[in-house]
Structure 1
Amino acid sequence: MAGALETLCGQTFGAKQYHKLGNYTCCAMISLSLVCLPVALLWIFMDKLLIFFGQDPMISLAAGKYCIWLIPSLFAYGILQSLVRVLPVSEPDPSDAYKLVCNSLFAYTSLLAYATCKETQILFTSDAFLSIKEFFHFATPSTIMVCLNTTTLHYYIPYGVGAAVSTRVSNELGAGNPVAAQLAVGAGMVLAVLEAIIVSTALFCCRNVLGYAYSNEEEVVSYVSKMVPLLCLRVSVDSLLGVLSGVARGSGWQQIGAYVNLRAYYLVGIPVAALLGFLLRLRGKGLWIGILTGSIMQAILLAFITAFTNWQIQATKAREIIFEGQLSADNGLA
């Protein structure tokens, strides 16, 4: 849901409406904290839910205790994600380095202190509540875009490139520079293709030994070797998806991305996986081919949307949205 800030804050910064960045960030903190309430309630009764679904009582009890102790970090994580998403929008910041070398509490306090010392400082005002509806307009489809994608370790490489593309695209659209936004998209796609070639080539060359990272059983090693070509294709698709999703977030296409995700996976990917995996008895390979088919469909649709986008119109719309909100606020003060 914090992905909504990549659109709102990125385009606002590009339009030099710096005072609105803090407003959107506060709005995100409030909104995500509200969303954390039902999740926390779910975690409180996690042991009972697991038992209801047939889990072992001892395991359920341990998991329930773990979830309860995890609740405080849930709310802190919502605030942290708001800060992490908004700071790189304005300029390359050490936010990711903070996350790597610091624990979550220190990262939260450090980022908050940094944010309050900038021109775009974060101050809690009543205006933050007025932006909640606008935030959820982008946040809800952002969730659908992200939660259906792979969470494998490799995906974080193209996701990082996608985050950079999202920042550049949103900044340039907000500033009214469609050509620069289009160039940022092209640069991101070139990086995605190069990364896909390097990683997939390395995996394919190591296909006969990769299985030993998981097991010494020859059967497992042989099975992994047979699956590596599919893994290479999945890596390539993920690289493209990471950047294309960043373009969508930076352009404010979260709703389009959500529709593409749902249709690609639920109308194509899952039915193909069920057909190949269970009816044709291809088992694991069939399931993977099905999900891969959904990913390919998603990448194709997002690529077509990106390729046929009129960036001049996108820049005009972005500035209209930003300055329309500013005009409404000015009229209210008048």
Structure 2
Amino acid sequence: MDGGSPISDSLPLKAAPPPLMILAYLRVAGHDQGRPKSWPSISEVVEEMKEMCKIGGPMLVVGLIFYGRAAVSMLFLGRLGKHELAGGSLSIGFANITGYSILSGLALGMEPISSQAFGAKRYSLMCLTLQRTILILLVACLPISLLWLKMKPILLLCGQDPIITSVASTYLAFSLPDLFFQAVLHPLRIYLRTQGITRPLTLTAALALVLHIPINLWLVLYMGLGVRGVALSMVVTDFNLVASLLVYLWFCGVCGKGSWEGWSLECLREWRPLLSLAIPSCASVCLEWWWYELMIIFSGLLSNASDAVATMGILLQTTSLVYIFPSSLSLAVSTRIGNELGANRPNRAKVAMFVAVCCAFMTGIMALTFTTTLRNVWGWVFTSDRGIVALTARAMPLVGLCELGNCPQTTGCGVLRGSARPSLGAHINLGSFYVIGMPVALLMGFVANLGFLGLWLGLLAAQGSCALLMMCALAKTDWALQASRARELTGGAVDCKPVRKVVSETTKMSGSNSYKVEVAEMLERAPLISIKVVQPND
């Protein structure tokens, strides 16, 4: 088909001799025209970068604030003593594996529905998806809570130190309420971000961080609660974050501007679309999170276990800091692609992917530059042990190379989430980290006797293969098809009355009804707004 004109510019009906044939185009008036272009224009790139910065910039600030909150907790644990620091670190790792990664992954299942529904102006669907996600996460908190209460015998059975295990179990027991606050916080953040509402998230996160320090001082030092105080301070901080966010939204009327339609019992129905996205999203997140926790376990099996574990802790803190940048980009592109597909603008979605991937590679280069330039001084920020500092300096370039693959890989996951394809991301992560990365890590670390550096070579193989597979998946994406899938997911429809009117008028002039059935069937399959009247071949 050629790029036919809209209805207002179509051929005059009275000039078309009978018999006539109507060719319908899968195009929506006022949206993308023609097929997706191979390369976006400079103006499109600049416009998309502005849109992405509006979302990614505040998300970057929020990510840094949350990183600062975790750093404050670790500093107070370190102040309490060696066993408290080790027990707190163990409990945080256990909580990440069994709790926070699961809640975060399940919550991401609502992201494609929410962002596409906002683009399609299906605000009721957004509200119902928010309520369903909160219910799913609250239900998930129940078995996670039972597991956390049984953490001590589980870790003792695995041969962990009894003193450290006792501290870790105490920390987790007092952290239980935080699970339920996270079950509300994750969906609420996604609900706002997918609408481009980022200011409340930034302000409330900043307020929570400012209060986090005095709360720790009061509970840990003044009240003398020790590890219990550190855990409770995190709970209180997350409660403050949720409460201040809800108060801000209520008094500023953000949820009263058309996107919020109130709570409804309708959320108790039609769970399948959300669960079909939440479960693979959870799998994709957990497969990546768990790998880093396994790196700590593998480090403890090396001959220089004490130095290796300590260095791994430093490097994981480093990667957590660097990860904030591609993660913010991933959240931004996921929102942008979901909005554009929901609004039936596949060209704009493709431009968003192009801009995000380019920015991701630039971010990876900056991360590599950072880790290689500061490799000899970075370890001194965390410790004065020369052995740990030396091992950190040797591994930092490998960390940078891993980030060179991690940045486009993380951004690619955002693209897949925005286009409602989390299952593809989960399969890529499974194959890259566990089919390729883990055997390479074990082989290089233990068989080839490369030790600690061998483990990071395994992660490098995983990140490199993951980035390659992700880029191949993005390059083969049919954006027109994804826009069609978005209409199915959101239940969106386009007004086809203009086409039906033209069909009716053309039928009267031609005196023929032979093509009416075919046109009617096509109208049922897709929103058809543009038509062209042509003389059929003899």
Which has the higher mean CA deviation after the structures are superposed, 275-284 or 236-245?
236-245
Q: 2:362 aligns with which of 194, 206, 223?
A: 194
Q: 1 or 2, which has the higher helix percentage?
A: 1
Q: Deviations over 1:200-228 (max 9, x none)?
A: 21322222333323444444443333222
The whole-number CA distance in structure 2 between the counterparts of 1:75 and 1:56 is 29
Q: Which residue of 1 aligns with 2:245?
A: 111
Q: 2:265 aligns with which of 121, 126, 150?
A: 126
The whole-number CA distance in structure 1 between the counterparts of 2:458 and 2:164 is 32
Structure 2 counterparts to residues 54-93 of structure 1, below 5 A = 54-93=159-198
The whole-number CA distance in structure 1 between the counterparts of 2:198 and 2:377 is 39
Q: Deviations over 1:52-104 (max 9, x none)?
A: 22233343333323222211111111111110111010123221442232232
Which has the higher mean CA deviation after the structures are superposed, 132-141 or 7-16?
132-141
Amino acid corresponding to residue 111 of structure 1 in structure 2: L
Identity %: 31
Structure 1 residues 200, 312: CA separation in 2 closer, same or farther (over 3 Å shift)?
Answer: same
Gaps of 5+ in 1: 326-334
Structure 2 counterparts to residues 241-320 of structure 1, below 5 A = 241-320=409-488
SS at match of 2:324: helix
The whole-number CA distance in structure 2 between the counterparts of 1:32 and 1:265 is 26
Structure 1 residues 89, 188: CA separation in 2 closer, same or farther (over 3 Å shift)?
Answer: same
- 8 Å CA contact 2:120, 2:492 repeated in 1: no
Task: Give me the TM-score of the superposition, normalised by structure 1.
Answer: 0.91
- 8 Å CA contact 1:27, 1:128 repeated in 2: yes
- Per the TM alignment, residue 122 of structure 1 is displaced from its structure 2 partner at its CA by 5.8
Q: Deviations over 1:279-320 (max 9, x none)?
A: 111111111111210111111111101011111111111112
Q: Which residue of 2 aligns with 1:143?
A: 282
Task: Give me the TM-score of the superposition, normalised by structure 2.
Answer: 0.58
Which has the higher mean CA deviation after the structures are superposed, 85-94 or 7-16?
85-94
The whole-number CA distance in structure 1 between the counterparts of 2:354 and 2:446 is 40
CA radius of gyration, larger in: 2
Q: CA RMSD in A?
A: 2.1
Matched, 1:239 2:344: no
SS at match of 1:54: coil
- 8 Å CA contact 2:346, 2:480 repeated in 1: yes
Amino acid corresponding to residue 287 of structure 2 in structure 1: L
Which has the higher mean CA deviation after the structures are superposed, 216-225 or 241-250?
216-225
Runs (4+) of structure 1 exceeding 4 A deviation are none
Structure 1 residues 110, 215: CA separation in 2 closer, same or farther (over 3 Å shift)?
Answer: closer
SS at match of 1:121: coil
Q: Which residue of 2 aligns with 1:332?
A: none
The whole-number CA distance in structure 1 between the counterparts of 2:188 and 2:457 is 38
The whole-number CA distance in structure 1 between the counterparts of 2:492 and 2:190 is 24
SS at match of 1:90: coil
Amino acid corresponding to residue 369 of structure 2 in structure 1: T
Q: 2:156 aligns with which of 33, 47, 51?
A: 51
The whole-number CA distance in structure 1 between the counterparts of 2:322 and 2:207 is 20
Gaps of 5+ in 2: 1-105, 209-236, 293-318, 494-538
Q: Which residue of 2 aligns with 1:331?
A: none
The whole-number CA distance in structure 1 between the counterparts of 2:386 and 2:149 is 44
Which has the higher relative contact order, 1 or 2, with Cα contacts under 8 A spaced 6 or more apart? 2
The whole-number CA distance in structure 1 between the counterparts of 2:261 and 2:287 is 32
- 8 Å CA contact 1:116, 1:123 repeated in 2: no
Matched, 1:99 2:205: yes
Structure 1 residues 141, 173: CA separation in 2 closer, same or farther (over 3 Å shift)?
Answer: same
SS at match of 1:158: helix
Which has the higher mean CA deviation after the structures are superposed, 71-80 or 48-57?
48-57
The whole-number CA distance in structure 2 between the counterparts of 1:321 and 1:197 is 37
